[in-house]
Structure 1
Amino acid sequence: MSKKVGLFFGTFNPIHIGHLTIANHMAEYSDLDEIWLVVTPHNPHKKKRTLLEDHHRLAMVRIAVEDYPKLKASNIEFGLPQPNYTVNTLAYLEEKYPKHSFALIMGEDNLKSFTKWKNHDVIAERHELYVYPRISEGEVDPAWKDHPKVKRVNAPIMEISATFIRKAIADGKNIRPLLPDNVWVYLDEMNFYK
């Protein structure tokens, strides 16, 4: 069966209510059939040493989405060469799931730096970009403002970062409301970020 799948990439270190809110909004208020939260082992723009092990981040995404039938956890990048470049992942997915069409979900902050992505022109030629609002510095390149492949989705603005959450946990703060309950329990039991 053919599906239109939105790919929401992230290190999800950890997944938080901001990620879930955006993913669920895309599932409910766009023409995407499913949202795959793709856990990235190594984003070329982030330092790997600050990351929890891949399987722990994937486990947290799995438990976070278990009550959302349109959201799926994906480890598709775990077996691909690292660092992970989106263009390579998309090529792999197109080959593995020829009946699906894949779109990228990204914050407006990523659209601003999209021209720095490896083969961004190939990505935009082959895939739609579903862009949600983010508060960030700089301007979107005029070429992307009215680009036919850019679909703006008026999702809530979520100013929660995994970096803030990790630091707050290390500082002994109670940030439980920022995480899905089952993710909080997992983090707490595993003593992560303390």
Structure 2
Amino acid sequence: MKKKIGLYFGTFNPIHMGHLIIANYMAEFSDLDEIWLVVTPHNPFKKKSSLLDNHHRLEMALLACEGYEKLKPSDIEFKLPQPNYTTTTLVALEEKHPTHDFSLIMGEDNLKSFHKWKNYEVILERHSIYVYPRISGGIIENQFKDHSKIHRVDAPIIELSSTFIRKAIKEKKNIQPMLPEKVWEYADRMNFYK
């Protein structure tokens, strides 16, 4: 029996309680055995300027996942050529871990643009997708509405973003409850986002 791994991709800049709530919900309330938080070096759709160095974001993810047995940060994409695509990461992970069965975890907002992803048909053919709800506009393509490989998970709706946290830190607001304690301490000590 292959171990079922859910891949939760993100820049995690910084990782916050919303990420942990969703990852832990997926680990505890779906049929996935573990959730790997894949720290992405750089999303081709995002500006790079506000992105902390890879090793800092990975360190914060490691700190955030301490004490959560089923949550594991991954730096697999740091070792792949850039710009990187999810399809390439999936191939690399399958080669490295042939005894695992990998699925994607994404917000409903990402499902709306999934048809624009490189090789999305191949991804859907070979992998399941677990979708958590988001409050967002836009339309989900008909081909994804009742797809057998797309599972909607009734996870809590978390409207907390890393963008909001970075802005709040810059404005000297106390957002300590929004970050795991060790992540807050690390970000504060390193003067991140100030």
Corresponding residue number in structure 1 for 2:92: 92
The residue type paired with residue 127 of structure 1 is H
* Cα displacement string for residues 54-111 of structure 1 (whole angstroms, at most 9, x for unaligned residues): 0000000000001100000100100101122000000111111111000000000000
Structure 1 residue 2, shift from structure 2 partner: 3.0
Structure 1 unaligned segments of length 5 or more: list them: none
Aligned match of 1:18: 18
Looking at structure 2, the residues matched to 126 and 193 of structure 1 have their Cα atoms a distance apart, in angstroms, of 39
Structure 2 Cα separation of the partners of residues 118 and 44 of structure 1: 12
Indicate the RMSD between aligned Cα atoms, in angstroms: 0.8
Residue number in structure 2 paired with 1:5: 5
Distance in 2 between residues matched to 1:152 and 1:84, nearest whole Å: 26
AA at the equivalent of 2:172: G
TM-score, normalization by structure 1: 0.99
Residue matched to 1:153: 153
What SS does the aligned partner of 1:101 have?
A: strand
Q: Give the structure 1 partner of residue 184 of structure 2.
A: 184
Instruction: Report runs of 4+ in structure 1 exceeding 2 Å deviation.
Output: none
Structure 2 portions without partners, runs of 5+: none
Identity %: 69
1:45-60 matches, within 5 Å, as 45-60=45-60
TM-score, normalised by the number of residues in structure 2: 0.99
Give CA deviations for 1:7-48 in whole Å, capped at 9, x if unaligned. Answer: 000000000000000000000000000000000001111111
- In 2, the alpha carbon distance for the partners of 1:88 and 1:96 equals 12
Deviations 1:152-176 (A, max 9, x none): 1100000000000000000100011
